[in-house]
Copies of this chain bind each other. A is one copy, B any other.
Amino acid sequence: MDDNIDTFQKISVGDEACFSKTITETDIYLYAGITGDFNPVHVNKVFAAGSFFKEQVAHGMLSAGLLSALLGTKLPGPGTIYLSQTLKFLSPVKVNDTITAKVRVIEKVIEKRHVILETVCLNQNNDFVITGEARVFIPVP
């Protein structure tokens, strides 16, 4: 896509991007099937009703995938190499919650072509679901 454009050059500290999606039961069930994560809080409504959150919740790492999506498709975008991610899980995601993933550039490490981004996921009530930081590498195009 950006064949001869150097994405790294174009990025500035403060740049932002976001992506929102409602997390459905289908997402949770497919995600369980991919990862093998059949924790009953995710796939057993009877168990979930008696658990800490009192109802079925999505896998926390599922929402983290929305952050990865943003990094790999919007900012910095295609070609980005994921180096590291920190994640704090602050609120549960319930079935049909609408999650907004946001990333914001907080540092460019010129000599290594690294970009450091603040990464957060919020729900439809603006509760923080995930906070954390990502570090990516942008290869020379």
Residues of A within 8 A of B (CB): 1, 19-22, 24-27, 29-47, 51-52, 56, 59-62, 64-69, 72-73, 78-89, 96, 98, 124, 139
Contact = CB atoms under 8 A, between A and B. Distances in A.
Contacts of A85: 61, 86-87, 89
Given A21-B38, A30-B34, A34-B30, A59 B68 contact: yes
A2 to B, nearest CB: 10
A29 B88 CA distance: 27
B25 A124 contact: no
A134 to B, nearest CB: 9
B30 A26 contact: yes
A32 B96 CA distance: 16
Contacts of A89: 82-85
A120 to B, nearest CB: 14
Contacts of A22: 43-46, 56
